[in-house]
Structure 1
């Protein structure tokens, strides 16, 4: 691109905000123009305000930026806003930026189930960007809009289910058990005495998010609204002593009978191509779904950064005695599961002429 687009990051000192900054450091389309955080950080230089936890250094272009309050007046010149805000403050703040005609890409849960807000996983359902036209009508906006990406564990699940739905028709039932990394809880996150040598079989609100969001994401756009997919999801969510990468055990039943063979399912995973790839988006993975042939893969420590964290990994595809088949998947929870999804969504929006 001959001219980059200036972006603002809300919640820039948090875990997701840091990931936004890291992923945007060498981005050819976007550059960080302004950053915002809470009143505790506002007015400080970024390197003074942040407890940096990424495995790369703070980019020089951001380190001495002044952290602003998360108010639209401080983000003049930004066309795109990436929100890594906590849900306790995200709702009203994001609406204020929408009202000020910014293109807002949110990682927070607050607006995901709003029927006027697209809930988009970029390698799954970018056709839901068509809802923005109706959103602009309802909110009386000419340039601004609000798009959310999904919960991190939902993102991995639907990224594996979408190729199957496209190839074989509706899925009727899905049961998923997650083993979720501690980075999903932010920083300082889960106390060490709770997680070391342990599994915590409860993550507040996580099961409800997975069960609600999947049907909307896998639904279809019809005229001016989203029709949910006829899919029943039952989720059981657990926190485990892993830094990055959510692992999920998934059990699937197809509506069609007889169900496809394991060979057909594997081929569909391997051949799936998303719209993000077809649009040649910078962050799009070479393969959206990587099929692991080894029986003991995927594993988060070994595989979470394959496809630079922008794809999902699927392994252990096998028949199930109760459902049609089962498999294990892995998603990088702060890349495709969070900041990476929002950035890829923004890339798609630019390609579609929405920004």
Structure 2
């Protein structure tokens, strides 16, 4: 089965990751690229300042970039991936949805909307059923599905594995790579020989999105998970890979071996972009590390290590590649889930 797809915001940092991940994809065929009005009409090679560490695919390089409007996307495109800035996405994604397109979006707008699935396929695939509620509420033929923030998606799979022990409270401190801010997001003078102890909006996203992802869906709405989540988000001078220090309070009293086994055995999904093992657990307390471990599972795995039982529960570290698993790869995986479950 071949599914024709388009990329909204194709010239940006996450848009370029979409191009890389969709090249020679077994299901998806790139059929449309959009960007700002200033890039419309140019070839992708000319419009994009290519920053990814693999060459622009030849077929995509010569494609003409269109404006980000439904009229610029061919009718036979089955699925759109959105990497638009959230302010732009909030304004234009509804136009595509009203035109009947299915949109798998990395943009942060509407993630917490009650009728929008916020989905990690391994964690809460059943939340896709919110699409029916969404269509009834909004009166459009399309569908909008979101993946969470890059820092949230690094932590939540490990929390899902811990939930069997009675997850009550989570505190997390993040060490986030500069690529999470986009190519121009942090200047070299700000970040070299430095760390920035605040990332605007990031803490709130982790605190709210985690509870929605781990929440229960009853067929009509999602009830947020009852755990309290507190986040402190920091930018550090690594290129890719968010490392997070997590402290979780549990109602039960598992030892470190039980916790490691729960993470290691947490089930994955049978989708083309999914890693064979969702959570890789290190015994070496010096791991995971961004430079050494961010590419595990082709950048789609979650890594965990430094697991120690505490009087309250557990403390550990986790890591994921923020622009692959945490952004474009997450949207691609959601697109694969949409196809697998018959929404496309």
Instruction: State the TM-score, normalizing by the size of structure 2.
Output: 0.98
Q: 1:134: how far off?
A: 1.1
Please state if 1:353 is matched with 2:342: yes
User: Structure 1 residue 40: deviation in Å?
Assistant: 1.7
Report deviation, 1:232. Answer: 0.6
CA contact (8 A) 2:254 2:309 kept: no
Q: Distance in 1 between matches of 2:149 and 2:121?
A: 13
CA distance in 2, matches of 1:130, 1:337: 23
Q: Paired residue for 2:89?
A: 90
User: Within 5 A, what are the aligned runs for 1:203-242?
Assistant: 203-242=199-238
Query: Which residue of structure 1 aligns with residue 249 of structure 2?
Result: 253
For the residue of structure 1 that corresponds to 2:168, the secondary structure is: strand
Map of 1:134 onto structure 2: 133
Q: Give 1:168 deviation, angstroms.
A: 2.4
Alpha-carbon offset, residue 231 of structure 1 = 1.2
Partner of 2:165: 168
TM-score w.r.t. the length of structure 1 is 0.95
**Aligned pairs (5 A) from 1:11-22:** 11-22=9-20
- For structure 1, list consecutive stretches of 5 or more residues without a partner in the other structure: none
Equivalent in 251, 256, 263 of residue 257 of structure 2: 263
Tell me the matched-pair count: 343
Please give the alpha-carbon distance, in whole angstroms, between the structure 2 residues aligned to 1:272 and 1:233.
21
Deviation at 1:305, TM superposition (A): 0.2
CA deviation map 1:58-112 (0-9, x unaligned): 0011001111110011112211000000112011211111111111011111110
Match of 1:272 in 2: 266
CA displacement at 1:261 relative to structure 2: 1.6
CA distance in structure 1 between the partners assigned to 2:219 and 2:185 by the alignment: 42
- Is 2:289 the partner of 1:299? yes
Q: Secondary structure at the match of 2:272?
A: coil
| Match in the other structure for 2:22 | 24
Root-mean-square deviation over aligned CA pairs: 1.0
Residue 163 (structure 1) shift: 1.4
Give the Cα–Cα distance (whole angstroms) in 1 for the partners of residues 115 and 183 of structure 2.
32
Please list every run of 5 or more consecutive structure 2 residues that lacks an aligned counterpart in the other structure. none
1:151 CA drift (Å): 0.4
Matched residue, 2:44:
46
Match of 1:327 among 316, 331, 343: 316
Q: Within the alignment, does 1:318 sit opposite 2:308 as a pair?
A: yes
Mean Cα deviation higher: 120-129 or 178-187: 120-129
Matched with 2:67 is: 69
SS at match of 1:306: coil
Alpha carbons 2:41, 2:66 under 8 Å: kept:
yes
SS at structure 2 position matched to 1:308: coil
- Give 1:324 shift: 1.4
Q: Which moved more, 1:45-54 or 1:132-141?
A: 132-141
Tell me, in whole angstroms, the C-alpha distance in 2 between the residues paired with 1:186 and 1:51: 12
- 2-side partners of 1:243 and 1:159: how far apart? 23
> Per-residue deviation at 1:10?
0.5
Mapped to 2, the partners of 1:116 and 1:325 lie a distance apart of 33
Secondary structure of the structure 2 residue equivalent to 1:177: strand
Structure-to-structure mapping, 1:95-134, within 5 angstroms: 95-134=94-133
